[in-house]
Amino acid sequence: MIDLFDRTAVVTGGGAGIGRATALALATRGAAVGVGDIDLQRAAETASLIADAGGRAVAVAADAASAADWTRLAETVRATLGRPSIVVNNAFYLAVAPATDLDEDGWNRQLAVSLTSVYHSVRTFAGDLAAPPGGAIVNIGSVHSRLAFPGHPAYAASKGAIVSLTQQLAVDLGPTVRVNAVLPGPILTPQWDRLSDEYRERAGRQTALLRLGRPEEVAAAVCFLASDAASYITAASLLVDGGYVVRKDEAEPA
């Protein structure tokens, strides 16, 4: 079992989906967890689930695009749980429109939440993570960094940039801080609730494992990369997609 006892972790977007699953998984493995989310009620629900299971957690209302909110998140976590040694950048936003139709506010908001938030996390927590024995950052990217889907230019740009930024940060923050990314594929989060059963079934069939993934399966990968079990892994981008990017069905004959 991965041991994260005596560690403190920060998870953004921790109120639902992959973020909630990750916060719970880190706590199950012994970490105290600062749960940041733009929706304080959802963050508090995650923190309550951790506390009910015997863990330690604090919920903080935080917009990952706001430098001021990052400062407040850090101050709260340090005061209640101690110095963080794990940061999981998971805040989610999705602007859907072709580049020709997407307005500048939508483009900027997408990059601010998905990409600039990683910059804010480093500016906020680099000193904590560098303190002995060192720490780990795990950035939640997407298969969108490898694949193109109609109407997702801002999302693809932000997730592609996360891969490059992860590599750069691994160099700049090493050797005391490891920086990795997880690239989820089709994962059954609340974002999929607005999609039809037919669409979800079709997406599952497009993976090598023939099903959608679960948030807990992404969380397990995050916990691994954050732990000493991954002590010689940095600058990696780990696909957790059930083989979504490699499966290609044969075209029907003309």
Active site residues per annotation: 155
Cβ atoms of residues 78 and 34 within 8 Å:
no
Tokens of 12: 């953004």
The DSSP-derived string for 65-96 is T-HHHHHHHHHHHHHHH----EEEE-------
Phi and psi angles of residue 58, each rounded to the nearest 5 degrees, phi first: -140, 140
SS3 11: strand
Structure tokens given for 189: 């989060």
Please give the Cα distance from 10 to 22 (Å, whole number).
10
Neighbours of 27 (CB within 10 A): 25
Establish how many alpha carbons lie within 13 A of residue 137's alpha carbon, considering only the half-sphere containing its beta carbon: 34
Amino acid sitting at position 131: A
Cβ 4 vs Cβ 11: under 8 Å: no
Amino acid at 78: R
Show the tokens assigned to 143.
């298969």
| 25 within 8 A of 220, measured Cβ to Cβ | yes
Dihedral, 23, 26, 27, 33 alpha carbons, nearest 10: -60
